Amino acid sequence: MDLTNTYLGFTDNMKPMQKAIAEKMLDAKKRYNGMVMTNKEFVLDQIMNNSEPQIKDDITYWSRKLQDYTKPKIEYYLKTKDNSYWTIEKTLYNFAVYLIVKEFTYEVRIEDFIKDEQERKETEQQRLEQEKLDREQEKENEKQRKIKYNNWVNEQAENYNNSEQLNLLREIRLAELGEFSQHSVKLLVLIDNIDDYFCKEALKGWLHSGNKTSKKVFYHITGIKLPATNKGTYELLDNITSSNYKGIVPYKKRQKHEKNLQTFFRMMIQPTPHFEECQAEVFNKYGLEMFITNFDRKCTISEATSGMKMVEGVTKKMAMERLEYNIDKTGIEKVKEHIQEAIKRYGISPKYKED
């Protein structure tokens, strides 16, 4: 009887580790009566030839090493019809009992089971393959949806024409962060389209507890003040629609000491070369006008006419030291050449176009 791809259901309901150990034991090969066969084939052959699984308790043996009898243990056997015994492992004993209980004692029943089992496996394999295809299709659909959604948001941001909300966004970001970028206009698109599920979910990611400026923008655009915690913010967003908006709340810039801040424009390469407005501290050194900004926990020094980043550091002192080191190493004339090349390639800062 060929049992190559089956255990006749014996291991079907076992836990993974138990199943692996049992199947390894059943697949192990030994020589029985001059023939090499697997343990499961041997046990089945014995059961089909009327052998009986038996247990003997309290078996002890004299140990020459211990000079004493071993501790009592249980041993498992197959008793043949001629009253001889095969000593077997507990797993094989359990398999033998299982075969008898399931009446796997004649070929026709075994063959019918193997045939049904194979059909079930093929059906299960087809189901798994279809599920895999469905998951892959779902991933592709999700990918295309995200691409379509991102393209839509970008397009809406590029063509955004609510001047009142745009001016309010610019005013808040310049006052709170010292910069304004076209990317931040996406926040207005999400706020305007909060009734769209995907926009609402994106808005949750934008209005986390660490993004206080964006939460302030949301308040001044909608009149709805968001909780300080993420949990409270997400719960509130889940339960409001655009019909709950109360209207624009005027923004008043906080009075604070600002050292020589002026409007400048940073040159940004990604996603395409463009200038972004910012409020920055200005200083002159090496015959160059430069400005200092603090974004993303970094202090950046940029050249004013090109908007080109010169150096950055964790602190202003570190950035100034790096600037001095780079110019000493490169030479001021070479640096000025780089500045002119940047202007020639990307254009001059809007600040100097206006001038």
CA angle, 35 as apex, 32 and 36 as ends, to 5°?
85
Which DSSP string do the residues of 306-353 spell out, in sequence order?
T--EEEEESSHHHHHHHHHHHHHHH-HHHHHHHHHHHHHHH---HHHH
256 has a pLDDT exceeding 60: no
Q: Does 81 share its domain with 36?
A: yes
pLDDT at 73: 86
Of 58, 78, 105, which residue constitutes the final position of a domain?
105
State percent of the chain over pLDDT 90.
67
Residue 301 in domain? yes
Q: What is the mean pLDDT of residues 157-174?
A: 93
258 has a pLDDT exceeding 60: no
Q: Does 194 share its domain with 266?
A: no
Of 86, 105, 124, which residue constitutes the final position of a domain?
105
Q: Does 303 share its domain with 337?
A: yes
pLDDT tens digits, 196-230:
999 999 999 999 988 889 999 999 999 999 999 99
Residue 7 in domain? no
Q: Does 287 share its domain with 336?
A: yes
3-state SS assignment for residue 135: helix
pLDDT bin (cut points 50, 70, 90) of residue 272 is confident
Of 105, 127, 146, which residue constitutes the final position of a domain?
105
pLDDT bin (cut points 50, 70, 90) of residue 259 is low
**Cα(302)–Cα(312) distance, rounded to whole angstroms?**
9
pLDDT bin (cut points 50, 70, 90) of residue 43 is very high
Total count of domains within the chain: 3
Q: Does 95 share its domain with 42?
A: yes
Burial 131-151 (b: 16+ CB within 10 A, else e): eeeeeeeeeeeeeeeeeeeee
Measuring CA to CA, which residue among 265, 345, 276, 246 is closest to residue 305? 265
- The more confident residue out of 72 and 8 is 8
Residue 87 in domain? yes
pLDDT at 340: 93
**Mean pLDDT score across all residues of the chain:** 90
Residue 116 in domain? no
In degrees and rounded to multiples of 5, residue 107 shows phi and psi of -60, -40
| Domain containing residue 268 | 261-354
Residue 302 in domain? yes
Residue 307 in domain? yes
- The more confident residue out of 58 and 117 is 117
pLDDT at 57: 84
Are 234 and 318 in contact by the 8 Å Cβ rule? The answer is no
